Amino acid sequence: MDEPLIILNFKTYREVEGARAMELARICERVASETGITIAVCPPAIELSRIASEVEIPVLSQHADISRSDPRTGSVTIPGIKATGAVGTLINHSERRLNLADIEDLVRGCREAGLVSIVCTNNVSTSLAAALTGPDYIAMEPPELIGGDISVTSADPGIVKGTVVGISRVSPEVKVLTGAGVKTGEDVRVALELGTVGVLLASGVVKASDPGKALISLCSGISK
Ligand code: G3P
């Protein structure tokens, strides 16, 4: 995925149930094309295959349970994600925590499958621990700011900078994203200034009255 980038996690908000997930993915595709900025989407699991096969922007899974195709009812597998045409997956989102051994196994599974791995974390120390598993990205999001109106970039820029600096020391090849409360172009601009390669967000676009306008505002924080 080209950077800087904006990753939109649709979560399971009412606003993206059924056909509305595809509508939002199409809006993201249009804004990405108009602005030239990378916008990746994480649709609900039940819409992943359809969206990954129909839009031209990067599509990621919101979660993965297991790295192999073992018979497990209701689980999301790495080979299953790969088969949809998605390019990668979030791992260990704040709303779907995993243990470190599982995170490592999923990161390895992504690497073997040629999928992008984005491990979500909640602070500097968990970010450093997760970075040692070798993902492509760490997305650091303080849980108390998720879904709120204050961006991590203004509430606690130090935690973002600390994550960027710490990871550059322990695993310099791992890139850093941040999120939680991100809503404006200024939030994105500051995230990049702090050394991240982009943002992971949800409510600022999914729950906006005009998601396209919200996305364009976010993109304004990235100078091309
Ligand atoms: O996955 C992104 C998320 O946890 C941040 O959510 O609503 O604060 O942008 P939000």
Q: What is the mean pLDDT of residues 74-98?
A: 97
Of these residues, 112, 141, 173, 186, which one is catalytic? 141
pLDDT at 83: 98
141 lines ligand 1 (CB under 6 A): yes
Q: Answer yes or no: 93 catalytic.
A: yes
Helix (H, G, I), strand (E, B) or coil at 208: coil
Helix intervals (H) in the chain = 19-35, 48-54, 78-84, 100-113, 124-131, 152-155, 157-170, 185-193, 203-206, 211-219
Judged against a pLDDT cut of 80, whether residue 224 lies above it is answered with no
- pLDDT bin (cut points 50, 70, 90) of residue 223 is confident
179 lines ligand 1 (CB under 6 A): yes
Closest residue to atom 2 of ligand 1, CA basis: 201
Domain 5-67+74-115+143-156+177-219 has CATH 3.40.190.10: no
Q: Is the pTM of this model over 0.95?
A: yes
157 lines ligand 1 (CB under 6 A): no
8 lines ligand 1 (CB under 6 A): no
CA 201–ligand 1 middle distance (angstroms)? 4
For residues 219 and 224, what is the distance between their CA atoms, to the nearest angstrom? 10
Helix (H, G, I), strand (E, B) or coil at 38: strand
Judged against a pLDDT cut of 90, whether residue 213 lies above it is answered with yes
pLDDT at 64: 98
Q: What is the pLDDT of residues 20-55, one digit of tens each?
A: 999 999 999 999 999 999 999 999 999 999 999 999
180 lines ligand 1 (CB under 6 A): yes
Which residue ranges make up each domain of the chain? 5-67+74-115+143-156+177-219
pLDDT at 182: 98
pLDDT at 134: 98
Element (H, E) at 40: strand 38-42
Q: Answer yes or no: 23 catalytic.
A: no
204 lines ligand 1 (CB under 6 A): yes
CA 99–ligand 1 middle distance (angstroms)? 21
Of these residues, 93, 95, 186, 193, which one is catalytic? 93
Q: What is the pLDDT of residues 137-183, one digit of tens each?
A: 999 999 999 999 999 999 999 999 999 999 999 999 999 999 999 99
CA 177–ligand 1 middle distance (angstroms)? 12
For residues 217 and 175, what is the distance between their CA atoms, to the nearest angstrom? 24
pLDDT at 95: 96
Judged against a pLDDT cut of 90, whether residue 70 lies above it is answered with no
pLDDT at 115: 98
CA 173–ligand 1 middle distance (angstroms)? 24
Q: What is the mean pLDDT of the chain?
A: 97
Residue 9 CA: which ligand 1 atom is closest?
A: 1
